[in-house]
Each structure stands twice: as structure tokens, then as C-alpha cells.
Amino acid sequence: MATRLGRRSVTFDRAPAIIETANLAGAMEFDGPLGEYLQVRIDDPYLGEASWEKAESRMQEEALRAVLRRAGRQETEVDLCITSDMLNQCTSCSMALRHLDVPHLGIFSACASLTEALYLAATAIEAGTAGLVMVDVCSHHESAERTYRFPTELGIQRPPTAQWTATGAVAFLIQAGAAGPRITGATVGRVIDAGITDPYDMGSAMAPAAVDTLVTHFREFGRAPDAYDLILTGDLARVGSAVARQLLREQGYELGDRYSDCGVLLYDAERQDVHSGGSGMACSALVLSGFLMHQLRTGRYRRILLAATGALHSPTTYKQGESIPAICHAVVLEAEPGGAGEGEGA
Amino acid sequence: MATRLGRRSVTFDRAPAIIETANLAGAMEFDGPLGEYLQVRIDDPYLGEASWEKAESRMQEEALRAVLRRAGRQETEVDLCITSDMLNQCTSCSMALRHLDVPHLGIFSACASLTEALYLAATAIEAGTAGLVMVDVCSHHESAERTYRFPTELGIQRPPTAQWTATGAVAFLIQAGAAGPRITGATVGRVIDAGITDPYDMGSAMAPAAVDTLVTHFREFGRAPDAYDLILTGDLARVGSAVARQLLREQGYELGDRYSDCGVLLYDAERQDVHSGGSGMACSALVLSGFLMHQLRTGRYRRILLAATGALHSPTTYKQGESIPAICHAVVLEAEPGGAGEGEGA
């Protein structure tokens, strides 16, 4: 059973482990500062397919198969597969999953889907409804741009607040009582609308939702930020994470170097033309699958708070004059007690 | 804790109750055979809003507020709110939920979202991550037609296999240890693609997924179809439910009068111009919220199997030549033991 710490926060008593992860990522992501932690490089954004949407789906299927292969498990051992993507009707998932024999739940919290999926995986394991759970999220720069903004062929100029949708597909296998970094708790988000209407400034739109979840997390867990080696938002990027930092300061939380954002970490703003930074479901997922899993496995980080952030708009809503609601779900990830890195410190 | 009966099936030991439900529905749905069981009639499909999408979101917000009001509960008592809708990026949910203070999880399994949400609500309660869970799904005929096929203003001719997307928003409150029909078990679906490519024949596309889940359910639960007073698929309508009935027969399951489909029940094919029958997330949800809840509360049905079905395509995928994958999640609903209708029989 989980233990409820407040209305939005729980700890998972079984603390299921992320036993394996697999990722595929684009050239931009491999050329970024965290490229050394990534696994499969996609140089052809079409992956040999006839469209970006088909390429995205192929990428997701390959991530799902790769994580099973790496863990030496069969698809028929998977009790539950929780996935999301950014295409309309989450079709990247559906087109990939028709080729696998796995019980499937589709979710959608935009780019906060990664942590919603990890929360649900841990919940299912606590409830006893599943033993081995697979999680997969993905995004593809080209398919996302034409879904949400403009086809990249048009060469539309992007303002400095714009973010770069990451290309990547990322899968995780989660199981209790096994080796690997643990999911020990979570704080579920609320939908927060700060009134931002510019789809080229999603960082500012999402920052208040991130702050709402982080502050709720600290209060309900009774923890100060220094209980964490790292507190990481999902894809606020430079513009949004500066807003979040300021809003947290106003509520009495000075996070300092302990805080960063996956959209800031994934690319090198000096060398790479990503404007404010990274976004997309793959943004936080690639950072978790590569860099963070390495840090947790080696014990360099003992406990981190990953707060993925999602902008819940569509082209239809912003063309109808709606502002951009957002959400942020946070999960607590901890190095395995007594694991390989025990005692090495942060 | 839940008890696992097989890879895809579980029973919920706490058997959480559906303590209250609220629904709003359009004129077509009120004029159908089950109209007497519905609550709030929407005669203006715009609900006074400037677009159908805004109307759909308003409808969903009103359903969420109505279910709380009917149960005498406050939004701040809700531990988890699980929602879905059919607009791109599920924006009907997001635009509604920004006005409520509830922890939120977005899901998407197309028209199988209702039973995925009920499954997840029961799972969260079994895990102890939530006490009071709210579930809401909705669809709107006009917004769905222009999202998935053609704007209705164009007057495109529809073939006889086409279905009618229901207009409705439906909310449920779920809690363990309270009065009301129980969620006692579930069987999770797999993504099944039978190769159908016609978005005007979703019933045929979804029927194999429904059969896969029903047959798995009977096997894993060790139950014959006569263990149920009623077995109901979500929105296969006349064309799809005939296909499902035939496929079940080929696998040795003769369901007879025990089997029907929400898309068949919701409208009167003789009087109403709905072609094959109903579809949309609201289709199975309105049938559950109105007719089925009444039958379970009065004990006229003691145990039913609700197997909502979802077509997991998008206009992009079918324009790119993809077939239509589908999924079906089933939940077991039982009348309260010793409840009002105990002993009245089916």
C-alpha cells in the first residue's frame, strides 16, 4: 500500500525499481551536453519511413523492444504498458503497440506524461494489479512542430522564447523487489492557467504549474529543498525556469544550484540553435533515461525530484483565443539502498 | 490489494463503489430510448459559447460540478480526477479543469477511456494513493466530427456503416466502503489492428479488440458469459456488434440476448438518423451513468460486464494509409450486496 502524506502526495511503500531503460534520440540530442549518456543515435529523422509520424511510431516501437532486450525479458511478461506521445490522438503509441502483445493504457498530460506514467506504474504495483510495468513516451521534432505550430519546411521565424521539441523515444521497465533506482514517492499536479496565450512561450505558461506542484511537494512531504541532490523541472527551458525560480523565491524557497531544468540541460545554448531550450515528452525522458539513471545507478545522486511539466493547449484552443493551461507531476527517485554507488556521496 | 487472475485481469478486493454520477446530454440522446434515465438536457449545442470546442469544455466542467453537488462533496475533497475527451490534446478536459482545484491525471484510449478511467480509479483506491476519485469523459457531436472526419456544415454524405458521435459529459465519484454499485474487477485491453482502413466503419475496426478482451476476460476470470446479467460493448453499434457476435461464436461463445452494445442502445435506429448507431466517449458513459446505474441501484441487474471500445486512429494516420488499431478495456460492475434491490432479481 501507498502512504498518503497529503491530498496530492504519496510515498510508495514497495518503492518499485526502474530495472532497465532504453532510448533512441536524434542527432541534436546526441550532440548536446548529455549525449554521452544516450544509447541509439537517429541520424535520419525519417528512420527510412515515408512520414515523420510513421518515423516517430517506429522509434517508439524500437524503444519498447530495446528495453525488453536489454533486460532479457519477453513482451508477454509485461503486465501493463503505459505510454504517451504528442501526436493528435496519441497515434504514435497506437501504431507502435499494435505490433506488441502487451496490456496497454494510454495517458496524456502533454510533456508531464513521463511522470504521470511513472506515478501510475508505481500505483499499479502498490495495488497489486501489475508486477512488471513498461513505460514509454516519445516526441519527434518535425511531427510535433507541424502538429502544434508550423511545418518546419515553411521556415517560420521563431522568437527567443521558443523551445526545441526533442526527438527521442524512451522506455522504462519497472518492478518491485528488483535492483535499480527506486520510485519512492510522488506529488500529483493540478491544472493551472496563468493566462499566457503565446504558444511560443510555453516555459512561462508552465512555470506556475511547476511551482504549485513543487511547493505542495515540499509542504506535504515536510521536506526542505535540501532533502534533494537535484530538483529538476521537465521542460521550462531558460525562460520558464527563470520564472519558476523567481516564483519559488517569492514563496520562500531558494533553490540555488540544486535546481535545474531538463530543457536547459539537454542542449548547449551556446552551440545549438534551440532558443530557450528543449521541450517535448522526450526532453525530460531522455534526461532521466540517460544522465539521471547513470547518476542514480552510480550513487552520485542519492535522491532527486523530477517534476515534468506539460502545456495543455492545442492549435485549436489558441486560435480560439484560449490561454495555455499547464500541469506538473513530480516523482521522487532514489538510488538503490546499498547499491553500487552507496557511500560515494553526491 | 487487488488480486491478479491472469496477465490482464484483476479483482479489486476493496470493490470501490460508484457513489454518484452526473450527466449532461444532447437532444438526440434525450430523445433516444434511454433518455428517461438522463439528467440535464442540452438543447443548444453551443451552450451559449462561441465554438463547439468551448461548449464541450463547458459541458465537462458542468458535469464535474454537478456530480460533486449531487453527492454533497467539495472539490477539495477529491484526491484524484481522471478525465479524457476526444479533442486533439484532450483540451476539453484541460480547459474545464483549470477552473477546479483537483489533482488531475489525463488519459487517452479513445472511446475506451471510460473503462480505463474506472480501472485506474479502482487501482488508485486499492493502492491507497487516493480515497475519493472523480472520473469524467465527454464527447460532442459537432466538435468530434470536425476533429475526426468533416465539419458538419459541409453536409458530407455518410455511409450506412458510419456512427453518430454522442453529445454528452458524464462524471462519476468513486470511493471504497460507501454505498453504490461496485467496481469488482477488470480486464485490460491490448492494441489490436484488424486492418480496417475506413474511418466510417469504426465498428468493424473495433470488434476484434472487443472480442480479444471479452474472451480473455472469460478465460482469466474462469467465468462463462452467463455469469453476467448483461455484457455490453462500448460503441461497436449495429455493424460492429454483429461482427463481434460472429467472432465470439467462432471462439465458442454464444452470447445471445445477454449481449448488447451501448451504440445500439443509445439511439432508436428506426426513428433517429444515426446510421449504424452511437459512438464517442459519451456513448458508453451516458449508458452507464443513466440506464445501467439505475439497473444496478435497483438490483435489476446484479452483475454486468462493460467493455468500452476505442478506435485509436487520427485523420493524419488514415490519410497516411494506416489502418485503424483499436482497444477495449472491460470492467465488472456489481449491484451493492444487500442494497436496495437485493433479491429483486434480474
pLDDT per residue over A117-139, tens digit each?
Answer: 999 999 999 999 999 999 999 99
- Selecting from B4, B97, B192 the residue whose C-beta is nearest the C-beta of A128 gives B4
Contact B4 A76 (CB under 8 A): no
Please state, in angstroms and rounded to a whole number, the distance separating the CA atoms of residues A213 and A215: 6
pLDDT at A345: 40
Smallest Cβ distance to B95: which of A98, A119, A322?
Answer: A322
Beta-carbon separation of B3 and A104 below 8 A: no
- pLDDT tens-digit profile of A326-336? 999 999 999 99
**Cβ contact, residue pair B101, A190, below 8 Å:** yes
pLDDT of residue B338: 78
The runs of H, that is alpha helices, within chain B are: 27-30, 52-71, 91-97, 113-127, 141-148, 202-221, 237-250, 262-265, 281-287, 293-297, 315-319
Query: End-to-end alpha-carbon separation of chain A, Å?
Result: 30
Amino acid B345: pLDDT: 41
* Cα separation, B211 vs B34, whole angstroms: 25
Low-confidence residues in chain B, pLDDT < 70: 339-346
The reply to whether residue A191 touches residue B94, judged by beta carbons under 8 angstroms, is yes
Q: Is residue A246 less than 8 Å (CB to CB) from chain B?
A: no
CA of B102, closest CA in chain A: separation in Å?
Answer: 6
DSSP state of A166: P
pLDDT at A339: 63
HSE, side-chain direction, 13 A CA sphere, residue A152: 10
How far is Cα A237 from Cα A131, in angstroms, rounded to an integer? 35
d(CA B2, CA B14): 8
The set of residues, in sequence order, having a beta carbon less than 8 Å from that of B44 and lying 6+ positions away, is none
Cβ–Cβ below 8 Å for A94 and B312 = yes
Is B79 an interface residue toward A (CB < 8 Å)? yes
A157 touches chain B (CB under 8 A): no
Q: Which amino acid is at A64?
A: L
The amino acid sitting at A114 is L
> Given an 8 Å threshold on Cβ–Cβ distance, is B90 in contact with A191?
no
Q: Which residues of A touch B98 (CB under 8 A)?
A: 191-193, 325
The reported pLDDT for the residue numbered B328 is 98
Which parts of chain A register pLDDT below 50? 342-346
pTM over 0.90: yes
Q: How many CB pairs under 8 A join A and B?
A: 197
Q: Which residue of A has its CA nearest to B57?
A: A317
User: What residues 104-143 of chain A have any CB closer than 8 A to a CB of chain B?
Assistant: 104-110, 116, 119-120, 123-124, 126-131
Say yes or no: B73 contacts chain A, CB-CB below 8 A. Answer: no
Give residues 282 to 321 of A whose Cβ lies within 8 Å of B: 312-317, 320
Please give the Cα distance from B271 to B301 (Å, whole number): 27
What totals of helices (H) and strands (E) does chain A contain, helices first?
11, 16
The residue of A90, A129, A206 whose CB has the most chain B CBs within 10 angstroms, and thus the best one to mutate to test that interface, is A129
> Side chain identity at A240, as an amino acid letter?
G
Closest CA to A329 of A106, A120, A161, A134: A120
Q: Tell me if B94 and A53 make a contact (CB, 8 A cut-off).
A: no
Q: Is A3 on the interface with B (CB under 8 A)?
A: yes
User: For B20, which DSSP code?
Assistant: E
Structural domains of chain A, with CATH? 2-175 (3.40.47.40), 182-334 (3.40.47.40)
